[in-house]
Amino acid sequence: MPALSTRQKPKSNFIFAIAFLIALVMCGGIIVSIFMDWEKFKPTIEAKISDAIGRKVHIQGKMSGMLLPMTQVTAENIVIDNIDGGKAPQFLKMESLEVQLSPLSLLTGSIEIGYVHLKSPEIHLEKFSDDKNNWNFAAKSQPAADKKPAPTDKSVSAIPQLHSLKIEKGKVFYADYTTGTKQTVTDLDLDADLNLPSRKASIDATGDWQGQKSKIKLAIKPAKENQLAANLSANIPMGELTFDGTMYDPMQGGNKPLTSAGNFKFAVNATPKIEALGKLNYTPDEIKIVGLQISGADMKGQGDITVKMQNTPFVDAKLNFDTVDVAKLMAAVKSWQSDLAPAVKADAKTAAAAKTGGGLNVRGNFNIGVDKLNLTALTASNVKIQAATMDGRTIALQRFALQTMGDTNIEASGDYNLPASSFDGKARLDIGNLQKLADAAGFGGNDWVKAQPSRVEFTSGVQYAGQKINLKNYNLQNGDLKSSGELGYVMGDNPEFDIRAAISHPSIKKLFAKPDLPVDSKLALNTDLTGRLNGSGLNYGSMQGKVRAELNDGILKGVDWKKVSLEMKEINDPRDLLRVLDQVQRQKDGLTPFRSLTSDWTVVRGVATSNNIALDSDVVKMNGGGNIKLEDQQMDINARVTFNDHPKVPALGVRTFGAVTAPQYAFDTTAIASYYANKAINKAIEKNVDVNKLQQKIDKQGGKLLKKLMGQ
């Protein structure tokens, strides 16, 4: 045993000696670190990093460190310049940076970083165009003579091995000047544990995205060869996202592009909630979602989406929905936009710039179908949307079609401009059963609807921008009713309208349910109507505007002017005139043909007023004016009637008043009575008739009129 002990002793002394030397070196390193002037190295370190990233780096604060046992360097108040033309004052500034490296790893040719700690970093990310941003770094080029080939020894790796990354109280500002979008993350705390040799990593990050709490968690571990298993969960303002799948390990198998595949689920932060799930396949050239399922807000849909990652991404989407409830979907979208608005917003200046350049910058084909579409009061089916994006700002709507209650078909096509939110195209409406559609919409009991034929066909050019809609060169047919023209409408609390229309129909009477309307005409109505509706409802009493109307080839009920004209040939004295007018006032079903009835109206606070009502017929001509209270449907119009067959007879004053559908008439006979009184007096004088005797032959009223005319 002693001999054995003697043989072991030299080995123990050797181990002790090696340990002593290591301790001595470490103590020496610590002592050197204490007395080392790190400030002298700042210019060299700044220059080396600046050359490596192609940006100026400034260490404006103190710098300190320790060489052994672990190399640790701390720098304060660090700034990295922004690119030329950048709008932010700098790309990055931070309160302090602390880095720890393993000195022993340098002996093997590798760089092993224990941890990196960034305190209060502030990063500004800026995008100026599709191919220009401020986060792509490029080292300064070196002269060709100075360039050396990269080492080929695979045992030597210059790729840093980072074990831990910590960000404390960080801020990230993002600005996309092509779309006007600005986003901000504050109070960013990030902890990343990285074990690259074991191909494992876990990352936890929390922060406020435009004031809304957000959280992201990512875990990575080895899977099959050259693959990593990835599990991601994120709660951000847009919604909650989970991903469970695999991704290509960039540290294995050479320099290959990053790819991933797996199942994802995304729940939109909306009320009611909307969820989407499916299988995701990602490559740098293409993103494909297979078996996409969308549900929520009484909506169910499925389909596939492929995005080809080109300079301008190309989207091919094929989606079909079993059901869509428009009211619930719009409520969800509204609540989502309300929650999202603070997180993604554009200021006025950059948004205006986006309208003239940039935009969504995506092209593609979209085929969307809905088997059942629940509208506010209607149910539509077989909804089809076929569209393609022409550029980054315009969607070409090739076909929008739906069927709804009453065998109604709606189709539209045209170009939709995204930044301006405007549409220019055409539309077609074909209603197979107007009554059925009206019943479903809740106004089937309307008298006008009941009186109309079932079929309605409508085509028009459509322009929409902001709150203004223009229907250009529209054509409408409902049975015998035909109409064409232009219509402009500006939405709002006081909507404005501008209508220029021509309407034709064999009879105006057939357009309305009430048979006692005073006009029965072959309707050829030309209208120019401009004005405003005070209030959102179609309340006649709140309408203001101007109307130009022309009604042709009709019959005016109530006064048979032809009969009056014929009987006036037999009038020789005021007594006969009074008898005729008394009969005219008593009759209720007189019919007077006319060629045209024209007028210009102004509508103020629900009262339509005209001073140029003109009626032209073979028997009489009428000119006058008055007003119609649209809300009460009461009229008061005064006119002067002249008889074509009696050009010397003065005009007859006629007042038409009362209900529009059952008017009353009053006549002013003064001028005509004077005319016939003078005529009767002249005859009496010629025949030497005693006026007093003549007075006895006429009624009391006529006699008084005669005596007055003769000054007696």
CA distance 60 to 94: 10
Q: Is 36 exposed, middle or buried (0-12, 13-18, 19+ CB in 10 A)?
A: middle
Residues (pLDDT < 70) of the chain are 1-37, 67-70, 104-111, 130, 138-160, 251-255, 311, 337-362, 376-378, 390-393, 405-406, 418-419, 513-515, 533-543, 587-588, 684, 686-712
pLDDT at 695: 52
pLDDT on residue 474: 94
Token pair 């969307």 is found at 368
Tell me phi and psi for residue 438, to 5 degrees: -65, -40
**How many whole angstroms separate alpha carbon 574 and alpha carbon 566?**
16
Q: What is the pLDDT of residue 370?
A: 87
SS3 26: helix
For residues 588 and 600, what is the distance between their CA atoms, to the nearest angstrom? 28
Q: Could you tell me if 105 and 114 are in contact, meaning their C-beta atoms sit under 8 angstroms apart?
A: no
Evaluate whether 535 touches 559 at the Cβ level (below 8 Å): no
The per-residue b/e assignment along 574-612, b for 16 or more CB within 10 angstroms, e otherwise, is bbbbbebbeebeeeeebebbbeebbbbbebeebbbebee
pLDDT at 553: 85
Scan for tokens 């050259």, then name that residue: 226
Q: Which residues of 288-315 are buried (b: 16+ CB within 10 A; e: fewer)?
A: bbeebebbbbebbbebebbbeeeeebbb
Query: Do 609 and 624 touch, CB atoms closer than 8 A?
Result: no
Nearest-10 Cα torsion for 67, 68, 69, 71: 10
| Number of other CB atoms surrounding residue 459 within 10 Å | 17
Residues 6+ apart with CB under 8 A from 622: 613, 614, 615, 639, 640, 641, 642, 654
Identify the three-state secondary structure at position 349: helix
Q: Output the pLDDT for position 460.
A: 95
Strand extents, DSSP E, 284-378: 286-296, 299-308, 314-325, 345-346, 363-374
pTM of the model: 0.60
Q: How remote is the C-alpha of 386 from its chain's centroid? A: 18
Dig out the tokens for 133 from the structure: 């941003």
Cβ within 8 Å of residue 80, ≥6 positions away:
53, 55, 56, 57, 58, 90, 91, 92, 93
Closest CA to 124 of 172, 60, 188, 161: 172
Pairwise CA distance, residues 211 & 218, whole Å: 22
Question: What is 457-520 written as a DSSP string?
Answer: EEEEEEEEETTEEEEEEEEEEETTEEEEEEEEEE-SSS-EEEEEEEEEES-GGGGSS-TT-SEE
Helix or strand or coil: residue 357? Answer: coil
C-alpha distance across the termini of the chain, in Å = 175
pLDDT in the model for residue 16: 47
CA 667 to chain centre: 59
> What's the CA gap between 1 and 153, in Å, rounded?
50
